[in-house]
């Protein structure tokens, strides 16, 4: 069957237990995603900790629109459209760096890193009505931050960032509060991967690791003498682990490993104490948050495994940003977040863990990218276009706050992200 493209039909493409494959393959639907999601919703641009010094900047896009995130000479982080106010050329070509000024190399217009137009060659040619203060860099229509995470929206009106995040804000707190001072360092660099597949494949999926990442789990088993329960956190993807999936609403989702980690807290703390200065980290967390909350945050390990719709994910130690390029091409940026106020050995371990699983030769990300490309290829077989996403639907429960909860291997997260997709796509 051919998927309908009318506004009133987008909800039809996402059923309670299945989704139409056209949302992953149809270029017309992708164009509508750009307009209705990426050019309207709150998108995460990055984190203020990427820009520790005045003048630090990073160039990126909101959907297809080029922007600059920069810490101005006044210390304030802003997000500007990367476009000269004269003839529309980009004013910054370098992805990252430090600059007091941004210059358009077409006609030499120069802008301060706080936005105002600094210099125009031959201003008299524009006449007496030309005023430089009217031609500064254009700020994005809306910009807000939460715990240093910088969000921007190209829509001049809409829900506030707090309304958009809702209960998902808690998991940004958990990521940040793995530091005893509640702050991070995001200057270690970035791993970048680009795969030939749709952007919606990048999600929270607790069903696939036993198969896609079998080699990693086998290594864990070998190190534990064949008994995953003897590792510091057991098998986190087993149904009997106690771990959960959560649909937080608005497209935000969570793989909730907290129950299993708390069940094995003593083992985890014992492992941490074996590290150089591991005890110092534990004591710093207890001093900052109290023993009970400190232990809870240590159990989270700064890894909420949260998806903040539509483009931010907090997985492992990383801040992951998803950038759709086309209906069948996606770029993913993975920034390892290091903790302030902790012993160097803790950050060294975080960085090695990130590299070993998510790096270009890691045990995880290359598997995922290959999986997504095979998924895109398989979806070209459209004789039966519906994909089945009913795992755990029969045992899913709804908590008083509206959160839907399933077991860790259930497809609660996939259904939640797709409900968010349908909500945004149905808005005119």
pLDDT in tens, 273-282: 988 889 999 9
Q: Is the pLDDT of residue 113 over 80?
A: yes
Q: What pLDDT is stored for residue 271 in this prediction? A: 86
Q: Does residue 234 lie within any of the structural domains?
A: yes
Residues 247 and 273 in one domain: yes
pLDDT, the chain, mean: 93
Q: How far is CA 270 from the centre of its chain?
A: 31
Q: What pLDDT is stored for residue 229 in this prediction? A: 43
Q: Which residue has the tokens 């707190």?
A: 173
Q: What is the rounded distance in angstroms from the CA atom of residue 375 to the CA atom of residue 379? A: 6
Q: Does residue 291 lie within any of the structural domains?
A: yes
Question: By C-alpha distance, which of 414, 397, 416, 415 is closest to 406?
Answer: 397
**Residue that is last in its domain, among 107, 126, 158:** 158
Domain tally for the chain?
2
Question: CB 46: neighbour CB atoms within 10 A?
Answer: 24
Residues 275 and 212 in one domain: yes
pLDDT tens digits along 343-372:
999 999 899 988 988 888 787 888 899 999
Q: What is the rounded distance in angstroms from the CA atom of residue 62 to the CA atom of residue 51? A: 18
Residues 117 and 173 in one domain: no
Residues 419 and 322 in one domain: yes
Q: What pLDDT is stored for residue 11 in this prediction? A: 86
Residues 177 and 256 in one domain: yes
Residue 165, both tokens: 């995040």
Give the CATH number of the domain where residue 115 resides: 2.102.10.10
* Contact criterion met (CB below 8 Å) for 332 and 317: no
**Residue that is last in its domain, among 131, 158, 185:** 158
Return the percentage of the chain with pLDDT > 90, whole number: 79
Report CA-CA distances (Å) from 225 to 219, 221, 222: 10, 6, 5
Q: Does residue 331 lie within any of the structural domains?
A: yes
pLDDT tens digits along 139-175:
999 999 999 999 999 999 999 999 999 999 999 999 9
DSSP state of 36: I
Q: Does residue 18 lie within any of the structural domains?
A: no
Residues 152 and 47 in one domain: yes
Element housing 184 (H / E)? strand 184-185
Asked, as a colleague might, if the bond just before 28 is cis with ω within 30 of 0, I would say: no
Q: How far is CA 133 from the centre of its chain?
A: 36
* Contact criterion met (CB below 8 Å) for 341 and 284: yes
The more confident residue out of 133 and 3 is 133
What string of DSSP letters covers 399-419?
-TTS-EEEETTSTHHHHHHHH
**Residue that is last in its domain, among 133, 158, 183:** 158
Residue 42, both tokens: 């709150």
- pTM across the whole model: 0.94
* Contact criterion met (CB below 8 Å) for 55 and 98: yes
pLDDT tens digits along 305-340:
999 999 999 998 999 999 999 999 999 999 999 999
Residues 339 and 412 in one domain: yes
Residues 414 and 379 in one domain: yes
Q: What is the rounded distance in angstroms from the CA atom of residue 83 to the CA atom of residue 67? A: 8
Q: Does residue 196 lie within any of the structural domains?
A: yes
Element housing 81 (H / E)? strand 77-81
Residues 123 and 211 in one domain: no
Per-residue burial over 365-375, b = 16 or more CB atoms within 10 Å of its CB, e = otherwise: bbbbbebbeeb
Residue 119: which domain range?
43-158
Give the CATH number of the domain where residue 368 resides: 3.90.380.10
Residues 316 and 170 in one domain: yes
């Amino acid at each position: 069957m051919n998927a309908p493209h009318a506004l009133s039909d987008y909800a039809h493409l996402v059923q309670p237990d299945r989704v139409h494959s056209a949302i992953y393959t149809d270029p017309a639907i992708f164009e509508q995603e750009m307009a209705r999601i990426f050019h309207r919703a709150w998108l995460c641009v990055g984190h203020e900790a990427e820009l520790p010094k005045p003048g630090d900047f990073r160039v990126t896009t909101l959907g297809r629109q080029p922007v600059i995130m920069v810490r101005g000479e006044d210390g304030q982080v802003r997000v500007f459209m990367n476009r000269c106010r004269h003839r529309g050329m980009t004013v910054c070509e370098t992805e990252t760096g430090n600059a007091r000024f941004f210059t358009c190399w077409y006609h030499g217009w120069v802008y301060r890193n706080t936005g105002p137009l600094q210099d125009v060659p031959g201003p008299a040619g524009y006449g007496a009505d030309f005023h430089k203060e009217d031609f500064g860099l254009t700020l994005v229509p809306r910009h807000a931050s939460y715990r240093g995470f910088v969000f921007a929206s190209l829509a001049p009106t809409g829900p506030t960032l707090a309304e958009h995040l809702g209960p998902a804000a808690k998991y940004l707190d958990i990521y940040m509060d793995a530091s005893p001072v509640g702050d991070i360092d995001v200057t270690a660099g970035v791993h970048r991967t680009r795969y030939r597949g749709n952007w919606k494949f990048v999600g929270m999926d607790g069903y696939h690791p036993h198969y896609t990442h079998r080699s990693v789990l086998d290594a864990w088993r070998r190190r534990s003498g064949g008994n995953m329960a003897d590792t510091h956190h057991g098998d986190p993807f087993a149904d009997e682990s106690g771990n959960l999936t959560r649909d937080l609403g608005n497209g935000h989702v969570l793989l909730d490993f907290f129950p299993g980690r708390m069940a094995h807290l003593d083992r985890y703390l014992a492992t941490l104490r074996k590290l150089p200065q591991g005890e110092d980290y534990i004591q710093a967390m207890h001093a900052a948050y109290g023993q009970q909350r400190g232990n809870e945050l240590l159990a989270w390990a700064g890894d909420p495994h949260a998806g903040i719709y539509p483009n931010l994910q907090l997985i492992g130690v990383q801040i992951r940003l998803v950038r759709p390029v086309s209906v069948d091409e996606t770029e993913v940026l993975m920034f390892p977040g290091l903790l302030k106020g902790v012993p160097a050995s803790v950050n060294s371990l975080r960085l090695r863990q990130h590299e070993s699983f998510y790096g270009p030769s890691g045990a995880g990300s290359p598997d995922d990218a290959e999986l997504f490309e095979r998924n895109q290829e398989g979806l070209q077989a459209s004789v039966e276009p519906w994909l089945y996403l009913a795992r755990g639907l029969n045992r899913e429960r709804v908590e008083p706050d509206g959160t839907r909860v399933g077991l860790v291997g259930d497809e609660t997260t996939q259904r939640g992200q797709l409900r968010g997709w349908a909500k945004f796509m149905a808005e005119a």
